[in-house]
Amino acid sequence: MNKYKYLGEGALILTTLIWGGTFPIIKNALANISPMLFITLRFSLASILVLPFILKILKNTPRKALIGGMFLGLIYFLGFAAQTAGLKFTSATKSGFITGTFILFVPLFQLIIEKRMPGKGNIIGIILVLIGLVFLSSKGTSFLTIFSELGDNFNTGDFLTFICAFFFAWYVVYLDLVSKKFNYIPLVFMQLAVTAVGSALFMIFFALTEIESPKIILNEAVITALVYTFLLATILTTTLQTKFQKVVSPAKAGIILSFEPIFAAVFAFFMLQEKITNFGFIGCALIFCGLVAAEVIDKKEITYGL
């Protein structure tokens, strides 16, 4: 048993739980703030708050670490941008399912970047999670319509969301590689700063091309969403994932992060009174079984100290 491995898995589960809470909170806020402005404020506030505490460390950080952090931030931002743009053209159901397919790309990136195949348990876990995501994303009418609901009318938004899944998978594997080489603190800041700058540039571009005009009404819903996301769902979660993911294999990390739609559904049930269908419960069970399979079958993993 490796205490670091379980500590890392616990940190990723907490990260995923916090991300799940963003769904109903942000949904309430977006009636009063444009999406790209929200992302810009979220990451800008996070960057500004973190900077004074890490300025001395940042000054003594090797150039390679800064470059690695910038590239990590670029991948992270591109995933966010593709997902946000895709949501304008596709349904939330399809977006949730397609984003979750990032775990399908994780083993591919792990093989290409790290020259390492995922274990049998992780492969079985990924298959179970993918099937679980289909059930969780279904409206729950019948077994015959599960896949047709997701496959009908493939559009630009669906394509952009696949791009998002591609970038998120790349992010998980590249983070595994970079976080083993450098101090996690400057890596965290570079991710926040690059995403803030990228979001601001996209917001300006969207405004100039009339895709989306920045708007904001500072009410309780917007303030609550900004505080929750920039403190917990940005600073805390980015720190936890950057510091602890290195002790968990990328494939296992992908499976754990796939719990986000389960937590989102639970939060939405209590906060927005959105019901979970019977197929949704089956999907949750399959995703959980995927994690158990990866944990039980692949007992031996190469882990790293913190």
- Report the alpha-carbon distance of residue 162 to residue 79 in Å, rounded: 10
pTM: 0.83
Domain count, the chain: 1
In a domain, 302, yes or no: no
State the amino acid at position 232 in one-letter form. Answer: L
In a domain, 305, yes or no: no
Confidence of residue 267 (pLDDT cuts 50, 70, 90): confident
Q: Is the pLDDT of residue 237 over 90?
A: yes
In a domain, 151, yes or no: yes
pLDDT score, position 1: 47
pLDDT score, position 263: 80
pLDDT tens for each residue of 100-136? 778 878 888 888 888 777 777 778 888 888 788 777 7
Neighbours of 215 (CB within 10 A): 9
Place of tokens 């591609």: 166
- Report the alpha-carbon distance of residue 82 to residue 79 in Å, rounded: 5
User: Is the alpha carbon torsion for 253, 112, 95, 33 positive or negative?
Assistant: positive
Q: What percent of the chain has pLDDT over 70?
A: 85
What's the maximum distance between 2 C-alpha atoms anywhere in the chain?
59
In a domain, 244, yes or no: yes
Confidence of residue 138 (pLDDT cuts 50, 70, 90): low
**What is the mean predicted confidence (pLDDT) over 170-190?**
93
Q: Is the pLDDT of residue 266 over 60?
A: yes
In a domain, 304, yes or no: no
Could you give the C-alpha distances from 267 to 35, 97, 171, 262, in angstroms and in order? 20, 18, 26, 9
In a domain, 306, yes or no: no
**What is the mean predicted confidence (pLDDT) over 136-159?**
63
State the amino acid at position 179 in one-letter form. Answer: S
What is the domain range of residue 46? 3-297
Q: What percent of the chain has pLDDT over 90?
A: 36
